[in-house]
């Protein structure tokens, strides 16, 4: 009998998940493995919702965002019972290797399975880019491009009216997308959880921008910041008379997740999907694959999920210097 492996996607979908699935399946076939897909992340793993994946089943997905397997947030998998059932489902089908494509929470799940004896290889995939050991995670660059296009359009209308726009971007507990979108989008101010500024500091930055002759102000705010777009808008509205600027709020939300993966995410996903299979064939157990400097990085799952990933100080510094 051929060796059997399975692949699943979990947590927030990210552009790049589909090309990673495709590469894993086709590399598996080239390595004479039988490859299964688990539908809807850990929910499907617990329920035994598996499908056999051949080369044709993963055709036509390289340019599609989302995930052909479906994904989920699965509270049941946090329990001992849920994890036990997941292990049983794999064992019952003779599946001896699992690839988990997902973000921080999902890789905590990978670690739990690996501690229960399953050979797991994780692939760092989240638009939040908050997994340690990977300079950039699958999906983050495509999501960034979506945010940048929106910011360019907002600047046009902001400038026409002389308005301030608060643009809220995703990032559950981290400011990567906001920081990078703010720098690359030419924002006048950036608000992120890693370097919180008070609403009054932001108001001063806006007023100084107008004093320097700007016809608008774009403030990029991470949803995970203590002073998110709603909190800032509340403060500015309460002090509207004194601050004297006209304000609009745009939350980009899930629009950032649904883009077609860009060149970088397609190529990286292909490399990571193929490498994950090779690593399973080589006997790997409990590792997370990511990317740094164009190369695949390998970290122990435990190290990756327990380490908080810092933002690059050089970008934080540039954000201040360039907002003039």
* Residues involved in catalysis: 128
Do residues 135 and 290 touch, judged by C-beta distance below 8 A?
yes
Do residues 6 and 98 touch, judged by C-beta distance below 8 A?
yes
Please report whether residue 65 would count as binding ligand ADP according to CB under 6 A: no
Q: Binder to ligand F6P among 170, 191, 206, 296 (CB under 6 A)?
A: 170
- Tokens 């490859």 locate to 35
Q: Smallest gap, in angstroms, from Cβ of residue 283 to ligand ADP?
A: 24
Closest residue to ligand F6P, judged by C-beta, is: 12
Region of 7-15, 23-31, 187-195, 261-269 interacting with ligand ADP (CB under 6 A): 7-15
List the single partner that 42 binds among ligand F6P, ligand ADP, none, CB under 5 to 8 Å by kind: ligand ADP
Q: Smallest gap, in angstroms, from Cβ of residue 238 to ligand F6P?
A: 26
Of residues 78 through 97, those in contact with ligand ADP by CB under 6 A are 78
Please report whether residue 18 would count as binding ligand ADP according to CB under 6 A: no
Q: Is the CA virtual torsion 91, 95, 96, 102 positive or negative?
A: negative
Q: Is the CA virtual torsion 88, 90, 92, 94 positive or negative?
A: negative
C-beta closer to ligand ADP: residue 114 or 270: 114
Triad 276, 279, 281: Cα angle to 5°: 110
What are residue 300's DSSP bridge partners?
Answer: 287
For residues 64 to 93, the per-residue mask of contacts with ligand F6P, x marking binding by CB under 6 A and - elsewhere, is ---------x--------------------
Q: What is the dihedral of CA 305, 308, 311, 313, to 10 degrees?
A: -140
Q: Binder to ligand F6P among 9, 124, 128, 288 (CB under 6 A)?
A: 128
Give the three-state DSSP class for 99: strand
For residues 7 to 26, the per-residue mask of contacts with ligand F6P, x marking binding by CB under 6 A and - elsewhere, is ----xx--------------
Q: How far apart are CA 68 and CA 86, in angstroms?
A: 20
Give the three-state DSSP class for 295: strand
Q: Binder to ligand F6P among 41, 65, 70, 103 (CB under 6 A)?
A: 103
* Tokens encoding 131: 């997994």
Backbone angles phi, psi at 122, to 5 degrees: -95, 150
* Tokens encoding 20: 């990673």
Question: What is the DSSP-derived secondary structure letter of residue 286?
Answer: S
Q: Binder to ligand ADP among 28, 66, 103, 182 (CB under 6 A)?
A: 103
Q: Binder to ligand ADP among 4, 5, 8, 11 (CB under 6 A)?
A: 11
Please report whether residue 251 would count as binding ligand F6P according to CB under 6 A: no
Q: Which residues lie near ligand ADP (CB under 6 A)? A: 10-12, 42, 73-74, 77-78, 102-106, 108-109, 112, 126
């Amino acid at each position: 009998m051929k060796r059997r492996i399975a692949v699943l996607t979990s947590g927030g979908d990210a552009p790049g998940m589909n090309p990673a699935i495709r590469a894993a399946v086709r590399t598996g076939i080239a390595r004479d493995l039988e490859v299964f897909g688990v539908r809807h992340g850990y929910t499907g793993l617990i329920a035994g919702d598996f499908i056999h994946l051949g080369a044709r089943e993963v055709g036509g997905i390289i340019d599609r965002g989302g995930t052909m397997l479906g994904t989920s947030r699965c509270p049941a998998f946090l329990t001992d019972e849920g994890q036990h059932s997941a292990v049983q489902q794999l064992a019952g089908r003779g599946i001896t290797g699992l690839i988990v494509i997902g973000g921080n929470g999902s890789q905590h799940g990978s670690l739990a399975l690996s501690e229960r004896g399953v050979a797991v290889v994780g692939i760092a995939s989240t638009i939040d880019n908050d997994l340690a050991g990977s300079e950039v995670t699958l999906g983050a660059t495509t999501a960034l491009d979506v945010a940048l296009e929106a910011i360019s359009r907002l600047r046009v209308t902001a400038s026409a009216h002389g308005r301030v726009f608060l643009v809220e971007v995703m990032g559950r507990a981290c400011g990567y997308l906001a920081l990078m979108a703010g720098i690359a989008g030419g924002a006048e101010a950036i608000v992120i959880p890693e370097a919180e500024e008070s609403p009054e500091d932001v108001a001063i930055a806006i007023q100084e921008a107008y004093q320097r002759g700007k016809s608008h102000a774009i403030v990029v705010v991470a949803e995970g910041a203590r002073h998110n777009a709603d909190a800032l808008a509340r403060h500015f509205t309460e002090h509207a008379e004194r601050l004297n600027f006209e304000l609009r709020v745009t939350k980009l939300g899930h629009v950032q997740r649904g883009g077609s993966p860009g060149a970088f995410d397609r190529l990286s996903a292909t490399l990571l999907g193929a490498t994950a299979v090779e690593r399973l064939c080589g006997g790997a157990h409990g590792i997370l694959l990511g990317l740094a400097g164009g190369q695949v990085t390998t970290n122990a799952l435990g190290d990756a999920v327990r380490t908080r990933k810092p933002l690059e100080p050089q970008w934080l510094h540039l954000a201040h210097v360039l907002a003039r």
